[in-house]
Amino acid sequence: MPEFDLINRIARVFGTSARPGDPGCVLGIGDDAALVELEDGWQLAVCVDTLVEGVHFGPDATAGAVGHKSLAVNLSDLAAMGADPAWFLLALTLPGDDPDWVDAFAGGMAGLAGDTGIVLAGGDTTSGPLGITVTAAGRVPRGQALTRAGAKPGDLVYVSGVTGRAALALRALQAGETPDREALAALHTPTPRLALGRALRGIASACIDISDGLAADLGHILECSDVGACLEVERLPSASCFDEMPNESRWSLQLGGGDDYELCFTVAADQAPTLDALQERLGILLTRIGSIRREPGLTVLRRNGKVFDPGIEGYQHFSPSAGGG
Ligand code: ADP
Ligand code: MG
């Protein structure tokens, strides 16, 4: 299929794409570059993420799920910054000529784009091993972005949703077993926590999305904020997919497993009632799992006061044990 047919195909799935008046993007697909606009008093949060077949998704992932996820991981980064989605660029490398795959891929991506109000502003299309790079931009009122720096001793540590399910599904797939349905959905079609990120503006002292595992990503907040934290492991919320699993194994997955796309954030201690109200309003589980302290490092404690060693490290590309992420 000629490159331009492919681009038109993708543009068709997304509808008319960017139009004058769309949030932030006044000229989209079809020219040499997109034109975007930013109102006074707002800043752009910009991020990019690449998904490569065999590294970030396997043959089990449908084209629609791959489309959904490659946008979702970027929206999750925007959520973690407290930004409202504005527009994105799609750089697509395709191995062959499979219009059905392209339609399903674009359909999965366009569905999430429509749900979250982000506009496809342009991209690039090349042939080669399957890989998807999405660059996304969001708007945030000047000075209100949530960063990883800003957690203070005495702050409370919260996590949204239930962590560890994506890792549970991945483990089942790697063992040749059928994953739990909810766990598989967490792995393949994660829900970026955009409404939560936006609501946390002016409330959270620090925020991060959990792509590399709760412990590792909280570790980034601790480093950037120059503080430490103590987690109470029994507070980690569970889900039915973990019913058969001993607590210790579940906690290890929930602290160490990647690909969760939940938010981990800190708030001043007097904000606990605000968080209760927010949980009600958004219908998202928000769980206080520990607190920030002055001494550096992360300690995970059992209720009996004993240290729990999750025996994990956050996933890192290029490390000898790399196999996901
Ligand atoms: P150029 O040669 O100037 O880089 P391209 O032929 O790569 O132009 O792209 C033509 C137009 O199509 C541009 O507006 C570009 O943003 C858009 N485009 C190319 N590939 C994609 C894609 N995968 N998704 C969305 N838009 C795309
Ligand atoms: Mg190009």
What pairing do the DSSP bridges indicate for beta strands 84-94 and 119-127?
A: parallel
For residues 165 and 190, what is the distance between their CA atoms, to the nearest angstrom?
10
Residue located nearest, by CA, to atom 7 of ligand 1: 124
The whole-number pLDDT of residue 59 equals 84
The whole-number pLDDT of residue 320 equals 47
Q: Choose among 191, 77, 205, 199: nearest CA to 146.
A: 205
Query: Which atom, in ligand 1's list, is nearest to the CA of 32?
Result: 3
The answer to whether residues 66 and 105 touch, using CB atoms and an 8 Å cutoff, is: yes
Sorted by where each begins, the domain ranges of the chain are 3-141, 156-301
Domain 156-301 in this protein, CATH class: alpha beta
The whole-number pLDDT of residue 215 equals 96
> Which CATH fold would you assign to the domain 3-141?
60s Ribosomal Protein L30; Chain: A; (3.30.1330)
The residue-averaged pLDDT of 84-111 equals 95
Query: Which atom, in ligand 1's list, is nearest to the CA of 11?
Result: 25
Q: Choose among 199, 205, 11, 201: nearest CA to 109.
A: 11
The whole-number pLDDT of residue 286 equals 98
The whole-number pLDDT of residue 25 equals 85
Residue located nearest, by CA, to atom 11 of ligand 1: 30
Pinpoint the alpha helices (H) of the chain: 3-13, 63-80, 99-116, 165-174, 181-188, 194-199, 214-225, 247-256, 272-282
CA 146 to chain centre: 15
For residues 315 and 211, what is the distance between their CA atoms, to the nearest angstrom?
9
The residue-averaged pLDDT of 36-51 equals 94
Which residues contact residue 318 at a Cβ distance below 8 angstroms, ignoring those fewer than 6 apart?
Answer: none
Closest ligand to C-alpha of residue 32 is 1
Which residues contact residue 210 at a Cβ distance below 8 angstroms, ignoring those fewer than 6 apart?
Answer: 159, 163, 217, 258, 260, 261, 262, 263, 264
Q: How far is the CA of 91 from the centre of ligand 2 (A)?
A: 9
Q: If residue 131 lies in a helix (H) or strand (E), which one and from where to where?
A: strand 131-141
The whole-number pLDDT of residue 37 equals 87
| Max CA pair span of the chain | 65
Write out pLDDT tens, residues 266-293: 999 999 999 999 999 999 999 999 999 9
Residue 314 above 60 pLDDT? no
Percent of the chain with pLDDT over 70: 94
Strand pairing partners for 298?
229
Dihedral of CA 260/266/269/273: which sign?
negative
Closest ligand to C-alpha of residue 124 is 1
Write out pLDDT tens, residues 148-207: 999 999 999 999 999 999 999 999 999 999 999 999 999 999 999 999 999 999 999 999
Q: How far is the CA of 10 from the centre of ligand 2 (A)?
A: 14
Residue 317 binned pLDDT confidence (cut-offs 50, 70, 90): low
Residue 322 binned pLDDT confidence (cut-offs 50, 70, 90): very low
The whole-number pLDDT of residue 24 equals 80
Phi, psi of 29 (to 5 degrees): -55, 135
Q: Choose among 167, 148, 162: nearest CA to 237.
A: 162
The whole-number pLDDT of residue 160 equals 98
Q: Which residue has better confidence, 60 or 132?
A: 132
Provide the 3-class DSSP secondary structure of residue 95. coil
The answer to whether residues 126 and 160 touch, using CB atoms and an 8 Å cutoff, is: no
Residue located nearest, by CA, to atom 8 of ligand 1: 32
Pocket test for ligand 1, best of 26, 29, 127 (most atoms within 8 A of CB): 29
The whole-number pLDDT of residue 324 equals 39
What pairing do the DSSP bridges indicate for beta strands 286-293 and 156-160?
A: antiparallel
Write out pLDDT tens, residues 214-242: 999 999 999 999 999 999 999 999 999 99
Q: Which residue has better confidence, 60 or 46?
A: 46
